[in-house]
Amino acid sequence: MQEIKGTNDRILEIDLSAKKFRVTKIGKKDRNMYLGGKGLALKLLYDRMEPGVDPLGEKNMIAFMMGVLMGTGAPCSGRFEAATKSPLTGIMSTASCGGPFGMALKTSGWDGIIISGKAKVPVYLYIDSKGVQLKPAKAIWGKDTGAAEAVLSKEGVGALVIGPAGENLVRFANIRSGHRFLGRGGMGAVLGSKNIKGIVAKGGEVKIVPAKKKKFDRSNKRFFKYINQNSITSGSYRYYGTNANTNLSNAAGILPVRNFTGGSHGEAHKISGETMAERFKTTWDTCKPCIIMCGHKGMIEGKERHIPEYETVGLLGHNLEIFDPVVISEWNDICAGMGMDTISSGGTLAWAMEATEKGLVKTNLKFGSTDGISEMLRNIAYRKGIGKDLALGSKAASKKYGGEDFAMHVKGMELPAYDPRGCFGHGLSYATANRGACHLSTSLFVLEAYLGMADPYAMRWKHYMVKFMENAYAAMNSLHICQFTAFAVFLEPPLIKLTPNFIIKILNQNLAPLALNLMDVSLWPELWHATVGKTYIPFVSMLKFRKAGERVHVLERYMNTREGISKKDDTLPLRLLTEGRKCDSKERSVPLEKMLKKYYRLRGYDSNGIPKKRTLKRLGIEIK
Amino acid sequence: MLIPDYYQFLIHPKIISGKCSLENIPSELNGYDAQKPLVITGKNIMERGLVKKFIKAFYDSTVTLGGIFDEVRDYAGISLARDAAFLYKERGCDSIIALGNGTVVDLAKAVNVLVSEKIDNLSAYHEGASISRQLKPLIIVPACRSNGMEATNVMTIDNRRITADFLYPDVIVIDPRMTPGCCPECVAESGVIALTHAFAALTDEAHNPMTAAVAHPALSYLSEYLPKGVTRPKNKDASIALANASVLAASAYSNTRPGMADLLAEELSIITGISVGKYMRILLPSLIADMQKKKIKISDELFLSLVGMEAYAATPVQERPQKGLDAAMKLINSLKGLLPKSLEQLKIQKYKLAEVARVAAERSAERFTDADCRTVLEQAWEGSAV
């Protein structure tokens, strides 16, 4: 079997309209500047796509890009990224997934694929080391994701599939690979618009090894150690999944309740990760390779089911005032089968419930009631009745029916399950995240609300924290490694580990640049250099890694500003800016404006939020 | 002058304009047997100190302000209307004063419907029911940026438009103390909206002597004071003249059918959240250029209103309609760099135009076709007419 050191640097470009494909080599410069995964996907689309294209038109492209570390055996590295122009938001969107497709594609000898055009009839793509074949998908068109994937998986090691929601162009349709999803931004609708039901990669054709094995093994060992000693990665997430966040969010007052009108609830424990683990006797069901093992399955009402993630529990549970883990699991399965993002589905349902309550729409949905939700989820997927409008997301629905003041989205993307009125820095992060309301742009709520390492209500230095984390996460998503490893890499090195939390909090409060820059993130650049065979220079390589993250973030921002994004879009739903909550004695709202100004200055954007020419030049981004 | 076979025109709001107009409010309220108004206003009005000035006008009166609801921002929705209606009931108010423009007025009208009809949502009206009886007294005091709908029988709540004759305010009070200089962009936007409304009223095939009579002074004010207002926003004469122009244009607009520029601007505004004024500044020149190209016949009253009697009399009869369009184009282009010139400059994605055209054509009740709307939008996207 052919052996590849790190990356193969081959991209498969498929033009569906012309039924042609070509092989492109990734240049060394692009690889160094944008790593892989998210960064490279965005760069390749930036070079190929004009601004202003219809997200559901032939000219839109979708890229699937593998991580640099994928296949090397580094823990939690089985992830890949997709990037496209989102039909939900009308701007660039990226999503990450740990399903088997990534490993299959990389071990077929490809570092990524870019799809453009539109097939005349429904097809699926079969990819092996020689190239791609378009095969008729008539037999699986209309099937749910589970059934379609079962068929395609017979032809290769890993597949991507869309469900009925993607076929019907639901704006928040997702793409499935195994039990994992390219969840946000409506990537499933983009594939649906191109008449692609799925993509299957043969896999197992090449072997991937790190270029500098000894150095790689040494860093890898440290990585394993950190992950296995961190209380989140080897404790709460490993045993209770991401839904361990429910009790933490409830205690911190950032748990969205009743469409973000409340921040905690007495019944939240009923749907917490701890309760589900005990009640459903959960076991692991994770991405590969992974040692955190946050994905779980369990026996629910006699049926083996995937345990819902925290975001699903949040948006289909407490935010709708539903506290029954069995029905939430059922809805999770419906969304998975139909191929719909649970965050946007839940956020849109919450809007519909409140709009019904206020007489703006007529549905049978009601907060606290499970009636009609399963049916409505299917109606959204098949675009029936009012489901046709809800399938466009809460922003579009509220433009049509009213209720924009309680449509909980940023840039058209529905809010995840963390209320920023209890963590101001995370509020800034929601407003500035490139793809819309995204909890993975910084995950600052962890430092602010869970670990007590930053004052959640302070504004000072929050702009710096957001920028630092955005850059770090963009680099991680380009490397590409699971973001949960950040808990271990940030918090386990001795300097941080031995410092009491209250001192870190004081430092973050008053000297954030110093405190954050003391965080030792050298592990990631070490692994990167060892994988691709570059010489690791302490500190310098780390700075290069962080600069790559900054470059990726700013490039995405720049691409979005070419689509019309500016300061007017970097905002939060009116409710978060004007209304307080009863769980907060001071009834605080997010003081966004002050933080935003400082953030723009720090980022090198102008006062309207547009990256300045000198910022782009400094980062080596070509100005178009 | 031709006499139309049939027409109707409703003149409702009483207009009080000039120095110390605010001091008339108590007596106006007394006329409606009201003593305790709820004042609805916006955060920006409060921050600019206008509410304090407004309250001073009531020092020597028997009127007691029932409460001041100052939570209004850029969006008028039922949630906020319910909060204000709750305050109205809790304080035992009997009338409403809207201090501000745009969303403040929309919200005040919505609150008026909620408290008069004793309901907690507007679903019946969204579904087409009509408001069939007199509402509580509503007084509007315009301040700063207008959306042109203050004096109309229209309210836009939760992005949905409800029209009813009972939605006309009872009194509009234009006081120089409440219309201090806004930024030049705000003046330009308000002016462009008034111009678009008056233009629609005069160029609509179904216009009548009354719409012309009301639109005429609006256009005359705009022609004389809009260029002055944008260069010297603190000029009191210009502020008062433009506030009057807005009210008059809106009155004419209420009695006519919305024009293509109105429909397209509204739809674009809903989709993007950018104010209608910015779109009207781009769309009106494109519409005028299209009309000139198609040689659409319009009345010569537009020309008369914009250039005055002398120039009108000196122009041959057959040239007046075209010159009217030229004059309107000249006026809107005098705004120079204050507002964007093309939809492309506003970064409107071109693929969205088809849907905007479709919805606008649908709302025009077959007066405009999809293709007509597309032509104007595409020209506006390039900004070639500006």
B179 phi/psi in degrees, rounded to 5: -120, 55
B123 and B99, same structural domain? yes
Of B128, B154, B178, which closes a domain?
B178
- Select the residue of B75, B158, B347 nearest A564 (Cβ to Cβ): B347
Strands A409-410 and B138-141: unpaired
Q: A40 with A34: CB under 8 angstroms? A: yes
Residue A447 CB partners (closer than 8 Å, separation 6+): A425, A453, A454, A465, A508
Which run of H or E residues covers position A152? helix A145-152
B208 and B338 part of one domain: yes
Judgement on whether residues B155 and B189 belong to the same structural domain of the protein: no
What is the CATH number assigned to the segment(s) A2-209? 3.60.9.10
Q: Judged by CB atoms within 8 Å, which residues 535-574 of A form the interface with B?
A: 562-564, 568, 574
Instruction: For chain A, give every domain's residue range.
Output: 2-209, 241-407, 420-619
DSSP string computed for A103-126:
HHHHTTT-SEEEEES--SS-EEEE
**Separation of CA A249 from chain center:** 19
Count of C-beta atoms within a 10 Å radius of residue A601: 12
Q: Which of B117, B143, B178 is the last residue of a domain?
A: B178
Distance CA(A461)–CA(A507), nearest Å, equals 10
B199 in any annotated domain: yes
- CB of A402 within 8 Å of a chain B CB? The answer is yes
What are the structure tokens assigned to A335, written together? Answer: 């969304």
Establish if B5 belongs to a structural domain.
no
Please report which helix (H) or strand (E) contains residue B75, including its range. Answer: none
Chain A residues lying within 8 Å of B270, measured CB to CB: 399
CA distance A478 to A81: 8
Please check the confidence at residue B61 and state whether its pLDDT lies above 90: no
| CA atoms of A550 and A619, how far apart (whole Å) | 8
Helix runs in chain B, H state only: 25-31, 43-47, 50-56, 78-90, 103-117, 123-126, 184-203, 209-231, 236-254, 260-272, 276-294, 301-307, 309-313, 320-333, 353-363, 370-382
Contact A112, A64 (CB under 8 A): yes
DSSP 8-state code for residue A534:
P
Q: What stretches of A253-363 show up as alpha helix (H) in DSSP?
A: 273-280, 310-316, 325-338, 342-357
| pLDDT (0 to 100) of residue A542 | 93
| A478's tokens | 């380009």
Q: What is the pLDDT of residues B124-143, one digit of tens each?
A: 998 888 898 899 999 999 98
Residues A357, A187 contacting (CB under 8 angstroms): no
Given an 8 Å threshold on Cβ–Cβ distance, is B75 in contact with A574?
Answer: yes
Distance of CA B345 to the CA centre of its chain: 25
Residues from chain B contacting residue A563 (CB–CB below 8 Å): 347, 349
Strand order across the beta sheet in which A283-284 lies: A283-284, A296-300, A303-306
B155 phi/psi in degrees, rounded to 5: -130, 140
Q: Please tell me the predicted confidence (pLDDT) of residue B1.
A: 62
Residue at B208: amino acid letter: N
ipTM of the complex: 0.87
pLDDT over 90 (residue B234): no
Q: What's B170-224 look like in SS3? A: CEEEECHHHCCCCCHHHHHHHHHHHHHHHHHHHHCCCCCHHHHHHHHHHHHHHHH
Residue B120 contacts A where some CB pair is shorter than 8 Å: yes
Ordered alpha helix ranges (H), A200-309: 213-229, 237-240, 245-252, 273-280
pTM of this prediction exceeds 0.80 = yes
The pLDDT, as a whole number, for residue B130 is 87
Instruction: Give me the phi and psi of A124, to 5 degrees please.
Output: -125, 155
Residue B173 shares a structural domain with residue B254? no
Model confidence pLDDT, tens digit, residues A346-376: 999 999 999 999 999 999 999 999 999 999 9
CB under 8 Å to B199, separation ≥6 — which residues? B219, B259, B261, B284, B302, B328
- Inter-residue contact A307 to A243 (CB < 8 Å): yes
Q: How far apart (Å, rounded) are the C-alpha atoms in residues B323 and B302?
A: 9
Q: Which among B123, B346, B349 has CB closest to A90?
A: B349
CA distance to A103, B96, B104, B132, B169, per residue, from B138 (Å): 68, 5, 12, 16, 5
Decide which of B204 and A89 is more confident: A89
Co-location of B76 and B168 in the same domain: yes
**Beta carbons of A175 and A83 less than 8 angstroms apart:** no
Q: Which of residues 154-173 of B touch A (CB under 8 A)?
A: 157-160
Please say which residue of B150, B178, B206 terminates a domain. Answer: B178
Asked if omega into A122 is within 30° of 0 (cis), the reply is no
Check CB contact of B78 with chain A, cutoff 8 Å.
yes
The parent domain of residue B25 ranges over 14-178
Count interface pairs A-B at CB distance under 8 A: 67
Residue B326 lies in a domain: yes
Average pLDDT of the residues in B106-119: 96
Give the per-residue pLDDT at B181. 66
Considering Cα of A308, then A314, then A320, then A325, what sign does the dihedral take?
positive
Contact between A439 and A604 (Cβ < 8 Å):
no
Residues B172, B216 share a domain: no
What one-character DSSP code corresponds to residue A267? T
CB contact under 8 A, A360 and B158: yes
For residues B166 and B192, membership in a common domain is answered with: no
Q: Do B123 and A359 touch (CB under 8 A)?
A: yes
pLDDT beneath 50, residues of chain A: none
Q: Of 3.40.50.300, 1.10.569.10, 3.40.50.2300, 3.90.1640.10, which CATH number belongs to A241-407?
A: 1.10.569.10
Long-range CB contacts (< 8 A, 24+ apart) of B87-92? B87/B38, B88/B38, B88/B115, B89/B115, B91/B36, B91/B38, B91/B66, B91/B67, B92/B36, B92/B66
Residues B70 and B206 in one domain: no
Assign residue B138 the CATH number of its domain: 3.40.50.1970
CA A384 to chain B, closest CA, distance in angstroms equals: 20
Q: Tell me, what's the pLDDT at A478?
A: 97
Beta strand pairing call for A180-182 and A92-97 = unpaired
Q: Of B122, B159, B348, which is closest to A564 when you measure between CB atoms?
A: B348
Residue of A nearest to B159 (CA): A402
Q: Is A587 on the interface with B (CB under 8 A)?
A: no
In this structure, are residues B9 and B215 in contact, taking their beta carbons and an 8 Å threshold?
A: no
Asked if the peptide bond before residue A480 counts as cis, ω within 30 degrees of 0, the response is yes
CATH of the domain at B278: 1.20.1090.10
Q: Give the closest of B80, B270, B351 to A405, CB-based.
A: B80
Residue B57 is predicted with a pLDDT of 87
Q: What is the mean pLDDT of residues B183-212?
A: 90
Give the DSSP letter of residue A185: S
pLDDT-based confidence at B2, cuts 50/70/90? low
- B349·A563 Cβ contact <8 A: yes
> Could you say which DSSP state residue B38 is in?
E
Counting the structural domains of chain B, the total is 2
pLDDT band at B112 (very low <50, low <70, confident <90, very high): very high
CB atoms within 10 A of CB A80: 30
* Smallest Cα distance from B344 to chain A, Å: 9
pLDDT of residue A520: 83
User: Is pLDDT of B4 > 90?
Assistant: no
CA distance A492 to A507: 18
The two structure tokens encoding residue A468: 């630092």
Same domain, B224 and B163: no
Min distance B324 CA to chain A CA atoms (Å): 35
Architecture in CATH of A420-619: Orthogonal Bundle (1.10)
| Three-point CA angle B173, B176, B177, nearest 5° | 95
Average pLDDT over residues B181-186: 82
Q: Which of B44, B78, B114 to mutate to test the interface with A (most CBs of A within 10 A)?
A: B78
Both ends of chain B: CA-CA distance in Å? 34
Same domain, B212 and B158: no
Q: Kindly report the nearest CA distance between residue A52 and chain B, in angstroms.
A: 5
Q: Do B160 and A401 touch (CB under 8 A)?
A: yes
Rounded-to-integer distance, Cα A221 and Cα A227, Å? 10
Q: Is B192 found in the same domain as B169?
A: no
**Helix runs in A153-254, H state only:** 164-167, 187-193, 213-229, 237-240, 245-252
Kindly state whether residue B254 falls inside one of the protein's structural domains: yes
Q: Is residue B362 part of a domain?
A: yes
* A386 phi, psi to nearest 5 deg: -70, -15
The reply to whether B101 and B239 lie within a common domain is no
